[in-house]
């Protein structure tokens, strides 16, 4: 889009300059000079293309071309049928694989949990903005987990959540039976998502704080003068003013959930128990690395790409409509 917009503006500027008489241009004397001038004009016309070429080339060569190769690869076979075109066979396989279905169901679960994952940093940022006691301390503490690698976070929570780990010890001391956090298929996905939110909300929090910096303080004062409660201030002043920030956090959080939970899954559950914590990216890795089915993995990647595209666009559309109503 940036490229699309910049092209005509650059061209019209250069055309204008070539059409007028530049003060420093020498008057035409003979053919050679005019030819040179024509060459210069052409060079000037070409200049914008040359200038945007590196960006376009990088995008095409390193992003679009591999994407197309991958999509193309997903229509070929694995193993005995390596390299042969198999049409949609891989996609049919995917649809019939209960593991991939589970992975897609988990994506659905993530979408449902998304508002929670956005609300937590949003609320905490609001409290910090409203200067609750100790807000400076919280601001740095909240961000701390965001600098830890998922592998470290996973290892820490593996210890905490293990069957005989400290969390269960605390629970049993208050009379709640031990929960097999990472071994119970009904609990494990929530445990991993919880840890992911814990590990990443700091980044969203910072984005929210940046959003608050643009908030018009006069509106807040006006609301207070009018006697609005905290809930009313949040609902009628803060949320509408921050709608763009919220949009941004929604999309980045969703992308983060779908694409960067691999480390946590790998360390904490290995997709288990009973395959209950599979996500498409983990499925892709298993198929490519463990099952030796790279073409099937490509098909899964393509599906994940389409899901991301659809979910992202839908979210933007919904949020934009909500923003307009305000």
Token readout for 270 is: 């290995």
CA–CA gap between residue 140 and residue 143 (Å, rounded): 5
Considering only residues 116 through 175, tell me which ones interact with other proteins, judged by CB under 8 A: 162-164
Q: Please say which residue, 128 or 299, places its beta carbon nearer to other proteins.
A: 299
- Quick one: which of 137, 165, 149, 319 has its CA closest to 242? 319
59 or 132: CB nearest other proteins: 59
Phi, psi of 162 (to 5 degrees): -65, 160
- The whole-angstrom separation of Cα 143 and Cα 125 is 11
Q: Both tokens of residue 137?
A: 């301390």
212 or 283: whose CB is closer to other proteins? 283
Question: Is residue 259 close enough to count as binding other proteins by CB under 8 A?
Answer: yes
CB 114 within 8 A of CB 253: yes
Place of tokens 């201030």: 233
**Number of residues binding to other proteins, judged by CB under 8 A:** 60
Candidate list 48, 70, 240, 263; residue touching other proteins; CB under 8 A: 70
Q: Residues with Cβ < 8 Å from 177, sequence gap 6 or more?
A: 171
Which is it for the CA torsion 104, 105, 111, 113, positive or negative?
negative
Binding mask 296-325 for other proteins (x = CB under 8 A): --x--xx-xx--xx--xx-xx---------
Using CB under 8 A as the criterion, what x/- string covers residues 14-53 for binding other proteins? ----------------------------------------
| Positions that interact with other proteins (CB under 8 A) | 1-2, 62-64, 66-67, 69-70, 73, 79-80, 82, 99, 162-164, 178, 180-185, 188, 244, 247-248, 251-252, 255, 258-259, 269-270, 272-275, 281, 284-286, 288-292, 294, 298, 301-302, 304-305, 308-309, 312-313, 315-316
């Amino acid at each position: 889009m940036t490229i699309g917009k910049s092209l005509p503006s650059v061209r019209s500027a250069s055309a204008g300059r070539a059409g007028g008489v530049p003060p420093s241009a020498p008057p035409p004397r003979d053919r050679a000079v005019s030819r040179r001038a024509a060459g210069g004009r052409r060079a000037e016309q070409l200049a914008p293309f040359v200038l945007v070429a590196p960006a376009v080339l990088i995008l095409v060569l390193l992003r679009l071309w591999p994407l197309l190769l991958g999509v193309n690869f997903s229509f070929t076979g694995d193993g005995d049928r390596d390299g042969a075109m198999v049409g949609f066979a891989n996609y049919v396989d995917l649809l019939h694989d209960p593991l991939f279905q589970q992975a897609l169901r988990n994506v659905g679960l993530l979408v449902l949990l998304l508002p929670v994952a956005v609300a937590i940093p949003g609320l905490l940022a609001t409290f910090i903005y409203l200067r609750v006691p100790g807000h400076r301390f919280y601001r740095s503490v909240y961000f701390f987990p965001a600098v830890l690698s998922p592998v470290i976070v996973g290892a820490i929570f593996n210890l905490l959540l293990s069957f005989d780990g400290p969390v269960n010890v605390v629970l049993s001391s208050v009379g709640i039976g031990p929960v097999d956090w990472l071994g119970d298929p009904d609990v494990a996905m929530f445990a991993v998502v919880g840890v992911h939110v814990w590990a990443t909300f700091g980044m969203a929090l910072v984005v929210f704080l940046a959003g608050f910096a643009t908030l018009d303080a006069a509106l807040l004062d006006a609301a207070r003068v009018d006697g609005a409660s905290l809930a009313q201030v949040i609902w009628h002043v803060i949320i509408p003013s921050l709608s763009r920030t919220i949009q941004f956090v929604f999309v980045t959080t969703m992308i983060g959930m779908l694409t960067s939970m691999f480390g946590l899954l790998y360390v904490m559950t290995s997709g288990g128990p009973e395959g209950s914590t599979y996500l498409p990216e983990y499925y892709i890795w298993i198929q490519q690395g463990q099952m030796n089915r790279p073409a099937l993995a490509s098909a899964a990647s393509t599906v994940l790409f389409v899901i991301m595209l659809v979910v992202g666009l839908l979210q933007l559309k919904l949020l934009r409509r909500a923003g307009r109503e305000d």
